[in-house]
Amino acid sequence: MGASVPRALQGSLSEYLSHLSVERGLSPHTLGAYRRDLERFVAHLGAAGRTHPGEITPADVEAYVTLVRTGADGRAPLSASSAARVLASVRGWLRFCEVEGQLTSSPAAAVRPPVQPRRLPKAISTDDVARILDAAGSGDGPRPLRDRALLELVYSTGARISEAVGLDVDDVDLTDGAAAVRLLGKGRKERVVPMGSFAREALDAYLVRARPELASHGRGTPAVFLNTRGARLSRQSAWTVLRAAAERAGVTGAERISPHTLRHSFATHLLQGGADVRIVQELLGHASVTTTQIYTMVTPDALREMYVSAHPRALG
Helix segments in the chain, DSSP class H: 7-22, 28-47, 58-70, 80-99, 126-136, 142-157, 161-165, 197-209, 211-215, 235-249, 259-272, 277-284, 289-293, 300-310
Is 286 annotated as catalytic?
Answer: yes
Q: Which of 160, 211, 232, 269 is catalytic?
A: 160
Q: Which of 24, 186, 256, 304 is catalytic?
A: 186
Three-state DSSP at 304 gives helix
Please report, as a single letter, which amino acid is at residue 273: G
**Residue 149: is it exposed, middle or buried by C-beta count within 10 angstroms (0-12/13-18/19+)?**
buried
Is 295 annotated as catalytic?
Answer: yes
Nearest to 174 by CA among 195, 147, 192, 154: 195
DSSP-assigned states of every residue in 179-195:
-EEEEE-GGG-EEEEE-
Residues 6+ apart with CB under 8 A from 137: 144, 145, 147, 148, 202
> Per DSSP, what are the bridge partners of residue 193?
181
Three-state DSSP at 145 gives helix
Q: Which of 200, 211, 263, 269 is catalytic?
A: 263
Is 263 annotated as catalytic?
Answer: yes
Is 160 annotated as catalytic?
Answer: yes
For residue 182, which phi and psi values (nearest 5 degrees)? Answer: -100, 115
Q: Which of 91, 191, 248, 260 is catalytic?
A: 260
CB atoms inside a 10 Å sphere around CB 316:
3
Could you give the CA distance from residue 16 to residue 210 in angstroms, rounded to a whole number? 58
Three-state DSSP at 314 gives coil
What angle separates helix 142-157 from helix 235-249, to the nearest 10 degrees?
Answer: 100
Q: Which of 16, 155, 206, 295 is catalytic?
A: 295
**Which residues are tagged catalytic?**
160, 186, 260, 263, 286, 295
